[in-house]
Structure 1
Amino acid sequence: MGFAEARIEGESQMLELDHLAVAGESLEAAVAHVEDALGVKMLPGGQHARYGTHNQLLGLGDGLYLEAIATDPSVGSLPHARWFDLDRFEGSPRLGNWICRSDDLEADVASIPLDVGLPVALTRGDLRWRMAVPDSGVLPYGDCFPALMQWDVSPTPASLLAGSGCTLLRLEVAHPDAGDLQAAVPLIDPRIVYVEGTTALRASFDTPHGKRVLQ
């Protein structure tokens, strides 16, 4: 299971890092932000009908990928909040969320004493998965807590995407209450580092052009 380790008997499994999400006011802006930072081209993605968003993707190897995501301008207002707090997004594109996969999403959601949302069944093309999405669209700790998901299909995007030559070296999760945040996340992964500071995510990658940073 990669970096994941089993929790004590009677609890759910530890989560695993699945992918990172860069948001923008437009998909074009989010894609340009990733491509400028990493020096590689992103691949086509698709649309998420329930949340009125669309994306493009980048394979990172080691079971990971990166997505650029934004509100789809062809979709009107929705009766519920968009995920990843995209209804309120403004400003320059940025690394806004990290997403962890679970082998038992319902159990993991129940075991975390925070409002991480309830599982929602989602599809994109042949892909099927469930993700816990808060009613507000905002995850705990100012979106620094990871979104939780479970794939209901195999293979997943990480194994389908062509390699980009980029691999994740480090994900820095900054928050004023970094210690409390770290204690609340059921994940063991040496690439994830929690630091006290202004709320933000910052990722370092090994790329065909050397070490690059995305934030």
Structure 2
Amino acid sequence: MSRIDHITVTAPALATGAAFVLKALGATPQPGGEHPRMGTHNLLLRLGDAIFLEIIAPNPDAPPPGRPRWFALDQLAPDSPPSLGTWVARTDDIRTTVAASSEDLGPVEPMSRGQRNWLITIPADGSVALDGVAPALIEWDGHPHPAAGLQDQGLSLARLEIFHPDPQRAVVLLASIGLEDAVACQHGDKPRLVAHINTPQGIKELSI
């Protein structure tokens, strides 16, 4: 079984990503941590008991990772605007789910942040599969979900939408990894993600 684990705002710097989220949702994310293997760091915002929003950016204080950073972060210029760049789906058996996927989501790699460890799919070139709208797959270790320790600011994910010139490819992908009822797929001139977030001020939207 798979489910939405988190949605990810990519930004050239954490400060610009946090400002983007504050303006869109009226909420301030909490400190996350560093990803030594990727040369990145993040901020987090709770969207439920087992779902969160992540802001991720290159870490200027970390050495270059010697490989492309995940989530296409190396393609961002210093003045690139933050955007809803990707999303991550949780599975209890990542290798079986990867084998069933209709799209190449990349090899399964170990990753860590502080004391937390997990397995995640990362394309070797650092891209996001299916032209930027496919999820990465994640299998967490046995600790409580990261969202459980975050402050509840009254936010929750209402729905996530995929727009793609060939939405049927996205439909087939989601069915192959057990997410056919979790995300809506629609035709769009260019690939993009749109998240609709319940907030104390009503439903707000995150996208490009």
Scaled by the length of structure 2, the TM-score of the pair is 0.92
The 1-side partners of 2:145 and 2:132 are apart by 24
The 1-side partners of 2:201 and 2:181 are apart by 23
SS in structure 2 of the partner of residue 141 of structure 1: helix
Amino acid at match of 2:84: L
Deviation at residue 190 of structure 1 after TM alignment: 4.5
Deviates more, 1:189-198 or 1:175-184: 189-198
1:27 paired to 2:14 = yes
The 2-side partners of 1:210 and 1:112 are apart by 35
The 1-side partners of 2:182 and 2:117 are apart by 27
- Asked if the contact 1:120/1:130 (under 8 Å) is kept, the reply is yes
Partner of 1:194: 185
The 2-side partners of 1:139 and 1:102 are apart by 18
- Asked if the contact 1:167/1:205 (under 8 Å) is kept, the reply is yes
Deviation at residue 206 of structure 1 after TM alignment: 1.1
* Residue-pair matches, total: 202
Among all aligned residue pairs of Structure 1 and Structure 2, give the percentage whose two residues are the same amino acid: 37
Deviation at residue 189 of structure 1 after TM alignment: 6.1
- Asked if the contact 1:22/1:30 (under 8 Å) is kept, the reply is yes
The 1-side partners of 2:55 and 2:64 are apart by 21
Deviation at residue 126 of structure 1 after TM alignment: 1.7
**Equivalence map 1:120-139=2 (5 Å):** 120-139=109-128
1:88 paired to 2:75 = yes
Amino acid at match of 2:170: L
The 2-side partners of 1:205 and 1:189 are apart by 20
Partner of 1:3: none
Cα distance per residue 1:175-199 (max 9 Å; x no partner):
1111111111223364521111121
SS in structure 2 of the partner of residue 92 of structure 1: coil
1:47 is matched with which residue: 27, 34, 37? 34
- Cα root mean square deviation, aligned: 1.4
Scaled by the length of structure 1, the TM-score of the pair is 0.89
In structure 1, stretches of 5+ residues that fail to align are 1-13
The 2-side partners of 1:27 and 1:196 are apart by 31
Amino acid at match of 2:199: T
SS in structure 2 of the partner of residue 158 of structure 1: helix
SS in structure 1 of the partner of residue 130 of structure 2: coil
1:110/1:135 CA distance change after superposition, 3 Å: same
The 2-side partners of 1:191 and 1:35 are apart by 26
**Equivalence map 1:132-151=2 (5 Å):** 132-151=121-140
The 1-side partners of 2:171 and 2:58 are apart by 30
Partner of 1:178: 167
In structure 2, stretches of 5+ residues that fail to align are none
